[in-house]
Amino acid sequence: MQETHREIIIDGYNLIYRLFHPENACLLSDLREQTEAALSKYLQKRRLHGTVVYDGGTVRGSSFRSGRIDTVFPGSGTSADQWIIDHVREKASKACMTTVVSSDREIRQFVSAFGAGWMSSESFAEELGRSGCGFRQEKQGKKYGERDHSGKNHETALDRREIMYWRALFDPEK
């Protein structure tokens, strides 16, 4: 990551699915907690500020601050991708001080057009693993949704709030 960049915006679930390859069902809230703990150490060590953005949250959205890391759930009306794009757009000429971590091609193209830097989630996961911040990327060989030879699907469990979010988003009755 370039030294001139002072803020990191992270596409949260995009990074989580590069960091973890859970063999058993695991709550996304636990994965978020582990990821944010490692990110907090990484940001402290490099004297950077970071914002991790996750899809979901309440209708109005919610955000939390813990040390050098902000956690944002944009709400049901805005995706994490759109929040990241809007945030970089609002920075205008200061966008060059921002690095966005995402493997989403559309996000990378947009933030580059506004002068922000970007890093793929895969590359950042490797950097986080090498950083000595108490996180080691597990290489379990199975990715989210992938099946092993037994036919078992390797997906993560959703917590109640996440289930409500997805139901509200896709429920045709509402």
Q: Dmax over Cα atoms in the chain, in whole Å?
A: 53
Give the Cβ contact number of residue 171 at 10 Å: 9
Report pLDDT digits (tens) over 44-59. 988 899 999 998 765 4
The answer to whether the beta carbons of residues 121 and 101 sit under 8 Å apart is: yes
For domain 7-170, which architecture applies? 3-Layer(aba) Sandwich (3.40)
pTM score, whole prediction: 0.70
Report pLDDT digits (tens) over 107-161. 999 999 999 999 999 999 888 888 877 555 444 333 333 333 333 333 445 566 6
Please give the backbone phi and psi of residue 62, each rounded to the nearest 5 degrees, phi first. Answer: -155, 155
Domain boundaries, the chain: 7-170
